[in-house]
Amino acid sequence: MVASDHRTYVYVGLAGEGDYIGEGGIVRRADGEEAWTDISKGLPANAQVRGLAIRPDDPQIVFAGTDKGVFRSKDRGESWEALSNPAPGSEVWSLAIHPDNPNVILAGYDPCSISRSDDGGDTWKMTDTSAVVYPYITTYMPPTAKRVIGMAFDPTNTKDIYAAVEVGGLLASRDGGDTWISMIDGPYIKNNTLDLHQVEVSSAAPGTVHIATQTAMFRSRDKGARWEHVQVEEMFPGGSYCRDLKVAPNDPNTIYLAAGAGGGAAPADVVQEGALFRSRDVGETWDRLDLGETVPGRMMAIAIDQAAPDHIYCAAYSGEVYSSSDGGSNWSKSVLPGESSRYLHVYPMVCG
């Protein structure tokens, strides 16, 4: 039940990549506000923010994964503190909080490694990824370092955790994150099917793993042993650029997919376009939601407020943020500040 005084805050992490590095940072907007507020004060200068997480039992506490490590705010981003960094020199690309114990937090890095905190972020230690071996088809991809771009716990068995690697396939842990192994042995014909962007598991389908890749979605019904192609609307000839996945917190049968045309494996003449898809049957069938306009950039991120799950948000690469307060029936749009620059784009988005 939503508290009568609950107010949803939406956070968007900004960053560049490679030769295109902008000022980065985090912006925030609350219910009832029109403008976005820059809340980067206290983060390193020019922070590239590619991971965000909100503590579900206390939404005042926000974590940011940056190119300088993990930072924590206890006041919704008004101030930030640097947390102990077990991987100096590595960039944080993803964060995940244990669904039953919010003191347990995972951070995924570039180059591929994963750390864990068991005390709410106060201390961190590296986990064992020494057994990870990438499929040979990805070995030529520059840069040779792989990055952990998304992680997910199986909520029905939290010892099972999955990590999506760009470009390198899927990792799995069967011991709560102590050790990791490579799981992909099936969906790859070309390297773009191993260019993972996100992974998700729903409590409505224990052991069923969905992955979003550069060119398609895939699903394994047996914890990653075998894979099948998930059919969604093609947004360019041969596929869709699939970026983010999110299970609805109030209905594990409902899954959202952020996708797009252009970029990745799409032909150069494909026009940029974004879309939000929804499945109400744990990924068996998918429908494209009407956001009120043609989204001008591929969709990058989805956020749903656990305390108010009718509040759904999605953000495009080009800076448009679409908001619904009625479970996706109606949408409004705002545009992030500074998004006209090719040096600055949307990476993660969370709300709570």
pLDDT band at 340 (very low <50, low <70, confident <90, very high): very low
Domain membership flag for residue 235: yes
Domain membership flag for residue 2: no
N- to C-terminal Cα distance for the chain?
A: 14
The proportion of the chain whose per-residue pLDDT surpasses 90, expressed as a percent, equals 81
The confidence score (pLDDT) of residue 86 equals: 96
Q: Summarize the confidence of residues 239-252 as an average pLDDT.
A: 96
Domain membership flag for residue 3: no
Domains held by the chain: number: 1
Element (H, E) at 170: strand 169-173
Contact 343, 298 (CB under 8 A): no
Domain membership flag for residue 200: yes
Q: Summarize the confidence of residues 222-226 as an average pLDDT.
A: 94
The confidence score (pLDDT) of residue 258 equals: 98
The confidence score (pLDDT) of residue 2 equals: 55
pLDDT band at 190 (very low <50, low <70, confident <90, very high): confident
Q: pLDDT tens, 280-333? A: 999 999 999 999 999 999 999 999 999 999 999 999 998 999 999 999 999 999
Contact 273, 298 (CB under 8 A): yes
Distance CA 95, CA 252 (A): 21
Domain membership flag for residue 136: yes
Reduced 3-state DSSP string for 37-99:
EECCECECCCCCEEEEEECCCCCCCEEEEECCEEEEECCCCCCCEECCCCCCCCEEEEEEECC
Q: pLDDT tens, 262-281? A: 777 777 788 889 999 999 99
Element (H, E) at 311: strand 308-316
Q: pLDDT tens, 125-152? A: 999 999 998 888 887 666 556 999 999 9
Domain membership flag for residue 4: no
The confidence score (pLDDT) of residue 30 equals: 95
Task: Kindly tell me if the per-residue pLDDT of 23 is higher than 90.
Answer: no
The confidence score (pLDDT) of residue 266 equals: 76
Distance CA 172, CA 87 (A): 20
Q: Which two tokens stand for residue 125?
A: 């230690």
| Best CA proximity match to 138, nearest among 149, 129, 147 | 147
Q: What sign does the dihedral 180-182-187-193 (CA atoms) show? A: positive
Describe the chain by its helix, strand, coil percentages, rounded to 5.
0, 45, 55
Domain membership flag for residue 104: yes
Q: Which domain CATH number covers 34?
A: 2.130.10.10
Domain boundaries, position 158 = 9-351
Q: Summarize the confidence of residues 231-254 as an average pLDDT.
A: 95
Domain membership flag for residue 209: yes
Instruction: Please confirm whether the linkage preceding 142 is cis (ω < 30° from 0).
Output: no
Distance CA 320, CA 301 (A): 11
Residue with tokens 């917190």: 249
Distance CA 50, CA 93 (A): 5
